[in-house]
């Protein structure tokens, strides 16, 4: 169990190192006219050289990377090139917003998808058909379009909820909830659709296992078969779905934050991407990879708890 976990953590660190190296090479490698972009068309060659020296771009790529990496492991991600801000603190102020949206979405998605998926697996018939329809619709409707439609309906037409903006929990819990309803709704819909399909599949698989027949042959009740045995065995597949959906939601949140003008990591990333703010982009990538790695390790732990074969390795 411990070796298993150490292995997973090791794999996560390798992934982090690999992705940051490749990303760094790609985005710092293409910073040819950053200085000119920042200074404007009228800047002289000397000004540009001075700016490049100031940003450290006149050094070779490996030297730049080594410098960045040494600082990064100490939690220093450098300065933004376009705003007068340090990268790490600005990530720290925005990341919780995104994380709370994604975390709430994952939890809602998990419960709704579990209920829908299990119902469809057990009842088949109508419940099953409804889920099939939802899953096609959820897959086909881009979350940002759904978000816009929700704004038009609930904010503009019915005026039940604010159309955009974000209120922090500390300011007003009620407004915080109100500001999150539409974005989270838009974000979870497609996730629920695909996750409930997967849960349905996992539960049906578990119910079709040989040992279920044997347990039934011994007189075990259908309730215990479903809740004790089938769900327990469907859990690993469901957890995998959850990890895939978590990653998808992190990306989806970037667009949704733009639609709802939420000051999270996503809108920071979009601005940085459009303006070529490379240190911020590196910071975002590293933060998100670490988040994904941590999430996957949590899921691995849950998986090990659910699966004695893994736990007792």
Residues 188-227 that bind another protein (CB under 8 A): 208-211, 213-222, 224
Among 60-68, 167-175, 176-184, 265-273, the segment contacting another protein (CB under 8 A): 265-273
Query: For another protein, which residue of 27, 39, 49, 299 counts as binding (CB under 8 A)?
Result: 27
The contacts found for 142-145 with CB under 8 angstroms, 24 or more apart, are: 143/186, 143/187, 143/189, 143/190, 143/252, 143/255, 143/256, 144/186, 144/255, 144/256, 144/258, 144/259
What would you report as the CA-atom Rg of the chain, rounded to the nearest whole angstrom?
24
Query: For another protein, which residue of 251, 297, 298, 301 counts as binding (CB under 8 A)?
Result: 251
CB of 171 to another protein, least distance (A): 26
SS (H, E, C) 177-199: HHHHHHHHHHHHHHHHHHHHHHH
Query: For another protein, which residue of 250, 260, 300, 303 counts as binding (CB under 8 A)?
Result: 250
Query: For another protein, which residue of 114, 177, 247, 298 counts as binding (CB under 8 A)?
Result: 247
Q: Where are the alpha helices (DSSP H) in the chain?
A: 2-29, 34-39, 45-55, 61-73, 87-123, 125-140, 143-150, 173-207, 210-217, 222-224, 231-260, 265-275, 278-306, 308-311
**Inter-axis angle of helices 87-123 and 278-306, to 10 degrees?**
40
Among 2-10, 47-55, 104-112, 248-256, the segment contacting another protein (CB under 8 A): 248-256
Cα angle 273, 151, 258 (rounded to 5 degrees) comes to 10
CB of 102 to another protein, least distance (A): 10
Separation of alpha carbons 70 and 215, rounded Å? 58
Query: For another protein, which residue of 82, 105, 269, 303 counts as binding (CB under 8 A)?
Result: 269
Separation of alpha carbons 287 and 186, rounded Å? 24
Nearer to another protein by Cβ, of 40 and 219: the residue is 219
Q: How far is CA 56 from CA 48, 77, 175, 187, 198, in A?
A: 12, 14, 44, 39, 49
> For residues 272-291, which are near another protein according to CB under 8 A?
272-274, 276, 278, 281-282, 284-285, 288-289
Nearer to another protein by Cβ, of 8 and 184: the residue is 8
Q: Does 26 interact with another protein (rule: CB under 8 A)?
A: yes
> For residues 126-165, which are near another protein according to CB under 8 A?
128-129, 132, 136-137, 139-142, 144-145, 148-149, 151-152, 156
All residues at 6 or more sequence positions from 274 whose CB lies less than 8 Å from its CB, including other chains: none
CB of 112 to another protein, least distance (A): 20
Q: Does 292 interact with another protein (rule: CB under 8 A)?
A: yes
CB of 180 to another protein, least distance (A): 20
Query: For another protein, which residue of 244, 290, 297, 301 counts as binding (CB under 8 A)?
Result: 244
Nearer to another protein by Cβ, of 129 and 172: the residue is 129
Nearer to another protein by Cβ, of 178 and 310: the residue is 310
> For residues 64-123, which are near another protein according to CB under 8 A?
none
Q: Does 294 interact with another protein (rule: CB under 8 A)?
A: no
Q: Does 125 interact with another protein (rule: CB under 8 A)?
A: yes
CB of 307 to another protein, least distance (A): 7
All residues at 6 or more sequence positions from 82 whose CB lies less than 8 Å from its CB, including other chains: 38, 272, 275, 276, 277
């Amino acid at each position: 169990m411990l070796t298993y976990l150490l292995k997973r953590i090791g794999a996560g660190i390798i992934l982090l190192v690999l992705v940051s190296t490749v990303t760094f090479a790609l985005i710092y490698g293409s910073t040819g006219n950053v200085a000119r972009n920042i200074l404007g068309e009228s800047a002289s060659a000397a000004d540009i050289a001075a700016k490049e020296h100031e940003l450290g771009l006149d050094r070779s790529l490996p030297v730049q990377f080594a410098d960045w990496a040494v600082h990064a492991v100490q939690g220093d991600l450098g300065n933004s090139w376009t705003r007068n801000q340090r990268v790490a603190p600005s990530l720290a102020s925005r990341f919780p917003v995104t994380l709370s949206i994604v975390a709430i979405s994952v939890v809602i998605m998990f419960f709704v998808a579990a209920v829908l998926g299990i119902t469809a697996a057990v009842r088949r018939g109508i419940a099953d058909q409804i889920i099939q329809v939802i899953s096609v619709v959820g897959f086909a409707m881009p979350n940002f379009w759904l978000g816009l439609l929700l704004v038009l309906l609930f904010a503009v037409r019915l005026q039940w909820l604010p159309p955009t903006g974000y209120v922090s929990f500390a300011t007003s819990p009620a407004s915080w909830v109100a500001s999150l309803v539409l974005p989270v709704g838009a974000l979870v819909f497609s996730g629920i659709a695909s996750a409930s399909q997967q849960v349905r599949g996992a539960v049906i698989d578990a119910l079709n296992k040989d040992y279920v027949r044997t347990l039934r042959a011994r007189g075990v009740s259908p309730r215990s078969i479903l809740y004790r045995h089938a769900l327990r065995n469907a859990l690993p597949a469901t957890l995998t779905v959850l990890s895939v959906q978590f990653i998808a939601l992190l990306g989806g949140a970037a667009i949704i934050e733009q639609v709802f003008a939420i000051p999270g990591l996503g809108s920071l990333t979009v601005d940085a991407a459009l303006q070529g703010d490379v240190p911020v982009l590196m910071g975002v990538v590293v933060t998100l990879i670490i988040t994904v790695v941590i999430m996957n390790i949590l899921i691995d732990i849950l998986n090990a708890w659910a699966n004695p074969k893994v736990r007792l390795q």
